[in-house]
Structure 1
Amino acid sequence: MKTHLLCLEFLILAVHVLVSSGQMEPKKQVPSNPLMATQRLGLVERDVQGPVRPNITMPRRRLPPMCTGPTEIRDTFKYINTVVSCLVFVVGIIGNSTLLRIIYKNKCMRNGPNILIGSLALGDLLHIIIGIPVNVYKLLAEDWPFGVTLCKLVPFVQKSSVGITVLSLCALSIDRYRAVASWSRIKGIGVPKWMAIEIALIWILSIILAVPEAIAFDMITMDYKGEHLRICLLHPMQKTDFMRFYKSAKDWWLFGAYFCLPLACTAIFYTLMTCEMLRKKNGVQIALSDHLKQRREVAKTVFCLVLVFALCWLPLHLSRILKLTIYDEKDPNRCELLSFFLVLDYIGINMASVNSCINPIALYMVSKRFKNCFRVRCHSPQEVSSNF
């Protein structure tokens, strides 16, 4: 009996020791990472755009695992984009400023179509001076030290510049049809009043359409690898219903209004212009053959500008639309598709930047008048007017 009591006391003592040791042992804590929540919440955006971006105040939801592929694509793009942006900056400033100077210095070049081309060049010049240097710094540094004002100003100027380009191309297409439709109207030197009003309306409308960009972009701060970063981006949480709708429909809006519109306008009015030329083929054409050759050259120049615009902006819009339509963030095989979208997106960004400097080059290659002006301007500015 005593033996059983001793065994029972020993068993109770052992259990007491085990319980006491379990209570005294410190609990193992999982090391906390201050960026963990940010990484999880911003996972989808980082998959699409590369860098980590915080998405605060978003409700928690189950997100797919992170892509484990290498990030060499984005690192390579940094250097490619820097080189391309520097070339665009130099060529764009020289080409567009020379184009504006040619139109300003030569009275024979001050007509309706050339003034629209000059308006287009001025819009490109503003984008090159303000947007490109800031974007290159933003890509390389990843921190935004310029404040909220410039954070809103840069996308505003970019969208205004694209709007000026789009509306100017539409106006040029309409002007070419109007010039062909009125065969007896001989082109004079100077800018008609309606053309000055048209250019003013183009700039005003472009500025108004770019206002949502200034409202939507904002700065957020985050801690990443021990550094306090300030980031300028399209804010994920918009305050008004209109801005939430704009954010959700932005890519479709840009594709329709800033890409399809000038192409559709050119297709419609150039078709009408061709029909008009065929209808009046044997009429006034013989009497005004020299003048009609000039109009055809201008029409060919405008068509070339629209074609260059389409080629430069197609990759970027194609990337965004495909991402909206066929990309599925829950697909386990999405990472391969995502790599393709990243490459297409990076190519599109560089091509869109090239569009800001390529118009003077296109004019030099297509238009004999602009080619002569560029050549003489490079040698002797005083001799430009003698060639016309």
Structure 2
Amino acid sequence: MTQNYVPDLPFANMTRDGEGLGITYVNGSQQFCCDWNVTFNDTYEYEYFFEGLGVESIIIPAIFALIFFVGVIGNGTLVRIVLCNPPMRSVPNIFIASLAMGDLLLLFVFVPFNAITYMTTSWPLGEGMCKVINCVQVASTGVSVFTLTALSADRYHAIVNPINKKATDMMQRTYTVAILIWLFAIALGIPTLVLATVVPFYFPNNSTVYYCQAIPMYMTLVTKGHTAAMAIVLYLVPLSIISVYYVLIAIKLIQSSKHLIGENRRNDTKQLKARKRLAKVVLVFVLIFGICWLPHHLFNIMLVFSPDTTYMQTYGMMFFKFLGTVMAYANSCVNPLALYFLSNTFKTYYKKYILCCFKSKHRKKMMARKYREHTNMRYSSSRDMVSRTTQRTIIYSV
């Protein structure tokens, strides 16, 4: 059975037109008409849109719920570790905490509401929430990628130019950079906040479906420009800058490994190893971000720039869309997991804050078991002593 593909355009009055689908659009005072080459079956009119929710309405929200649960616990604990422990408030850790706060913003605002779109056939939350959640996605993504860029720059300067500076000045500069990153990311989300809208789609059987769109599809040039700008500003340019930083870091490390030989350079070698280890952590964060967000940007580019979008109706492309969405949101929960396995210091704090409840319960059980064993041992010893005394009495009385 052929699935019908109909673009999400507002105020579309659809009529049967031979082998294709004739659609008349109304955009302000202008009217457009075009013929979409979509094969129809007389016994199956618009069945694709009203056949009900599929299995994805259960699987995708369940995956989102898992991402939300893991991400909130991991990133919330990460922020608590940095803010509540003065020894952990170093320059890279401040950026890592800012990165975690951006992930928390995405998890709290965008992920739950986006899950609703897979559980309903029409957007139920109104235009205001449509604007907010699309703006939050852009801002959160901006915070993540720009913070990773700042982290890479910090690692570059720490390894290539390890100049001693006052800790106070460095911390003030770090907080300033983190705040500027948030302001710039929010500013990037303002166009989406203005343009995002709920688009009604009218069907001939008097049914109406509402779609939440970051940029209305009928604004063709704006949609293409916005999609290209997001892919360039939030993905290609930052990752390119990060790549340059890490190439320079690799060159410096190779040169340092040749010169740092001898007993008198032992301390410098230890410092370099520590900086190298932290650089690896940041590199893992960058690779995770690049891999997780690549399908999302690819799908958006194919959807907007492909001259023929009928192939987007296939199950393969729908799966690719779901995969891109899940991977993009999974990026918000994997950084704490990476820190747990890559940093012994963070692992200790994670065990302290997350596993303390389990350890407390385990400790209580152990104490209760030891108390029972001690009580039984005392009771057993007392009983054995009575038994031996009775035996002596019997023996001596004979």
Normalized against structure 2, the TM-score is what? Answer: 0.73
| % identity of equivalent residues | 28
Looking at structure 2, the residues matched to 83 and 274 of structure 1 have their Cα atoms a distance apart, in angstroms, of 41
Structure number with the higher strand fraction is: 2
Question: Which of residues 64, 82, 99 in structure 2 aligns to 1:85?
Answer: 64
CA drift at 1:342: 2.0
SS of 1:62 mapped into structure 2: strand
Indicate yes or no: 2:350 matched with 1:374.
Answer: yes
CA drift at 1:59: 0.4
CA drift at 1:129: 0.8
Change beyond 3 A, Cα 1:87–1:328: same
Indicate yes or no: 2:248 matched with 1:272.
Answer: yes
SS of 2:266 mapped into structure 1: coil
Indicate yes or no: 2:324 matched with 1:348.
Answer: yes
Q: Matches of residues 1-388 of structure 1 in structure 2 within 5 Å?
A: 37-39=12-14, 56-57=26-27, 58-66=31-39, 75-183=54-162, 185=164, 192-224=171-203, 226-233=206-213, 234-238=215-219, 245-281=221-257, 282-283=259-260, 286-324=266-304, 328-329=308-309, 334-335=310-311, 338-380=314-356
Structure 1 unaligned residues grouped into runs of 5+: 1-34, 42-46, 48-52, 239-243, 384-388
Change beyond 3 A, Cα 1:36–1:236: closer
RMSD: 3.3
Aligned residues: 329
Normalized against structure 1, the TM-score is what? Answer: 0.75
CA drift at 1:66: 4.7
Looking at structure 2, the residues matched to 119 and 54 of structure 1 have their Cα atoms a distance apart, in angstroms, of 48
Letter in 1 for 2:277: E
Looking at structure 1, the residues matched to 342 and 326 of structure 2 have their Cα atoms a distance apart, in angstroms, of 23
Change beyond 3 A, Cα 1:367–1:300: same
CA drift at 1:165: 0.4
Change beyond 3 A, Cα 1:326–1:220: closer
Letter in 2 for 1:138: T
Structure 2 unaligned residues grouped into runs of 5+: 1-9, 360-398
| 1:221-269 deviation line (CA, Å, top 9, x unaligned) | 455555555432232345xxxxx64422222222222222232122100
SS of 2:217 mapped into structure 1: coil
SS of 2:267 mapped into structure 1: coil
Q: Which moved more, 1:196-205 or 1:262-271?
A: 262-271
Looking at structure 2, the residues matched to 91 and 67 of structure 1 have their Cα atoms a distance apart, in angstroms, of 45
CA drift at 1:84: 0.9
Change beyond 3 A, Cα 1:285–1:88: farther
CA drift at 1:85: 0.5
CA drift at 1:206: 0.3
Whether the 8 Å contact between 1:55 and 1:236 is mirrored in structure 2 is no
Change beyond 3 A, Cα 1:289–1:136: same
Match of 1:27 in 2: none
Change beyond 3 A, Cα 1:229–1:178: same
Whether the 8 Å contact between 2:52 and 2:121 is mirrored in structure 1 is no
Whether the 8 Å contact between 1:123 and 1:164 is mirrored in structure 2 is yes
SS of 2:197 mapped into structure 1: strand
